[in-house]
Structure 1
């Protein structure tokens, strides 16, 4: 069993390696979820970045610096008002239109982890998750039950 888990992780890391478009889409989803209440606070940003860097497949496929750079790029977008939020959604939609179901699911689950980090999902956060789910063509309710 451990061998299969290791093979899946290694395979996932190989599959993700060099896919900066996917990394940026995942970072955008994390930022969009974290900023759902109006802005991305420093605490929310730290939680989101920690979740990204702690993710097994992401941390095996990308360096901490690559993850931080992708996150910082998307976090800067969140501070650009409506235009920034549209940019975040477009980044997520690009993943939704080109990635495998497994990759789209990873994006959504990481966004859910970021939103649930404080133990509560506000109405604004639920709306953001639904937007993310629609962009990647996955039903959010299936993951929240």
Structure 2
């Protein structure tokens, strides 16, 4: 019995280390004060394991709107504070997912989408102050923070790790 408990504790430790080691993503200009998942796949695994929603930023290195958003995002204390309740995923250039659920109303950039703790893209959370044609385009940190708060409110019945 004791040996079984030791093995279970060992595998739990290894499993947690594997999940947490995936948190080594690049900030790509969106701020090194955030903890970025290394990839969309690892972000989704971490989210499921820790029961947290995911914020996915899809952008291109050559995009002027993306370049404009980066310093605003990077220095937003409100987004930084809210980000502790999310798994943050930052996808640039070829890392953009091919799955159409990540381009619900087109493949413009930048796009910010939210994924439920269970792993499905939540198309109900979008920039309500933005364009009806480009619902997942955000140009100001206040818009992003508003959507982040909506996500946390929507999934508040879920238990989030601190």
- Structure with the bigger percentage of strand: 2
| TM-score, length of structure 2 as denominator length | 0.26
TM-score (norm 1): 0.28
Determine which structure has more spread, i.e. the larger CA radius of gyration: 2
